Copies of this chain bind each other. A is one copy, B any other.
């Protein structure tokens, strides 16, 4: 049967993935899948992309040995993959470069994107500016207010920012609005999804674009130590930086893969975003995966101190990695993440994104339990300048820029 055959190539990860989107978008998504399948093996495209990653985004990012933290924690050797040193300050740019370059090849002249905290929106607006593409960003009204600086940043980069008032006015509503906008106008427009989510080919494509992270880690760690890591730790919102960090280690059975979800005020409260730990299987935003939802399938309002992890779903490949236990997923609370934010600043002089600090927090627990000849690589997905004001407020100081 045609449908069965098609669904086999629709990027399934176990039962997860698929293309659950309105027919208004299907033919565009199919076109995208085809284009992507062509260009992923096209050496000119790959070369052009590598050139941008290298000469614009500042890759490769450093693999940094955190000697002070290693000594202080007294266990495994800790390395940080410094995605915070990329242009625009996070891993998001890896994906955006790939997608906008692809969009350009497809003849698009306009890109749209959702954004929560603004990181993905800023990255998209940045590459759109560089490539001379029109750019519109969709952002929940609540987020436009609490991230006003990022809104202005996107405008500076020439993007139009739409404030979304529907639903909870946060990230998932921004995704809804961006999908709706795309379903209105696909002929000249590509929707740059910001994580390993959405319908096929997005989870596969974004994961491919982010896989450069683990490719570099593997090579760099080999050069420095001649070894594979014993554990790779990354935070998980939609899951793109984690997929990027895991990718080339999935087939290495000795490497533990650990994703750190936002446990907010605790997974036993109503205020968290711990999808793997507390979610259930569902179908939303174009994919079958795990979601935080009620028994009727209504999507939950979620919470995390970290705007980048504040999403009720997770990429389908993570759901599959969790099911097969190839990767472990742990919840990190706001308190733990903030403590890690402060710890890494003081120990290593690195102000890391609060998202990334969810991973750092787990490293603080894990390292002392491991042996001194073992190696943890922790992905620092972004820099934390954007978070300093919020952390100050968390600590009771009133600070405005």
Please list the residues of chain A having a beta carbon within 8 angstroms of any beta carbon in chain B. Answer: 55-56, 58, 62, 64-65, 68, 82, 85, 87-89, 125-130, 132, 148-149, 152-153, 156-158, 341-342, 345-351, 385-386, 388-389, 391-392, 397, 399-401
**In the bound complex, do residue A349 and residue B125 qualify as a contact, i.e. CB atoms below 8 Å apart?**
yes
**In the bound complex, do residue A126 and residue B349 qualify as a contact, i.e. CB atoms below 8 Å apart?**
yes
> A153 — which chain B residues lie within 8 A by C-beta?
351, 385, 388
**In the bound complex, do residue A388 and residue B158 qualify as a contact, i.e. CB atoms below 8 Å apart?**
no
CA distance A399 to B386 in the complex (A): 14
Give the residue name and chain of the B residue nearest to A399 (CB). Answer: B148
> A399 — which chain B residues lie within 8 A by C-beta?
148-149, 152
CA distance A128 to B152 in the complex (A): 33
Contact of A388 among B65, B149, B347 (CB under 8 A): B149
> A346 — which chain B residues lie within 8 A by C-beta?
129, 156-158
**In the bound complex, do residue B351 and residue A397 qualify as a contact, i.e. CB atoms below 8 Å apart?**
no
> A62 — which chain B residues lie within 8 A by C-beta?
55-56, 58
Q: How many copies does the complex hold?
A: 2
> A388 — which chain B residues lie within 8 A by C-beta?
149, 152-153, 156
Nearest Cβ on chain B to A68's Cβ, whole angstroms: 7
**In the bound complex, do residue A58 and residue B82 qualify as a contact, i.e. CB atoms below 8 Å apart?**
yes
Nearest Cβ on chain B to A386's Cβ, whole angstroms: 8
Supposing A82-B58, A385-B385 touch, asked if A347 and B129 sit within 8 A by C-beta, the answer is yes
> A55 — which chain B residues lie within 8 A by C-beta?
62, 64-65
Supposing A132-B68, A149-B399 touch, asked if A349 and B127 sit within 8 A by C-beta, the answer is yes
> A152 — which chain B residues lie within 8 A by C-beta?
388-389, 391-392, 397, 399
CA distance A29 to B198 in the complex (A): 62
CA distance A342 to B129 in the complex (A): 12
Task: Sample 5 A-B pairs with CB under 8 A, ordered by A number.
Answer: A56-B62, A68-B130, A152-B392, A152-B399, A385-B385
> A82 — which chain B residues lie within 8 A by C-beta?
58, 87
Nearest Cβ on chain B to A359's Cβ, whole angstroms: 18
**In the bound complex, do residue B156 and residue A391 qualify as a contact, i.e. CB atoms below 8 Å apart?**
yes
> A149 — which chain B residues lie within 8 A by C-beta?
388-389, 392, 399-401
CA distance A64 to B58 in the complex (A): 10
Give the residue name and chain of the B residue nearest to A56 (CB). Answer: B64
Having A127-B349, A148-B401, A149-B389, one finds 19 other A-B pairs with CB under 8 Å, namely: A55-B65, A56-B64, A82-B87, A88-B349, A126-B350, A148-B399, A149-B388, A149-B399, A149-B400, A152-B389, A152-B392, A152-B397, A152-B399, A153-B388, A156-B342, A156-B345, A156-B346, A157-B349, A385-B386
Residue of A55, A130, A156, A386 with most partner-chain B CB within 10 A: A156
Give the residue name and chain of the B residue nearest to A348 (CB). Answer: B130
CA distance A132 to B69 in the complex (A): 11
Nearest Cβ on chain B to A308's Cβ, whole angstroms: 16
CA distance A399 to B161 in the complex (A): 15
Nearest Cβ on chain B to A351's Cβ, whole angstroms: 6
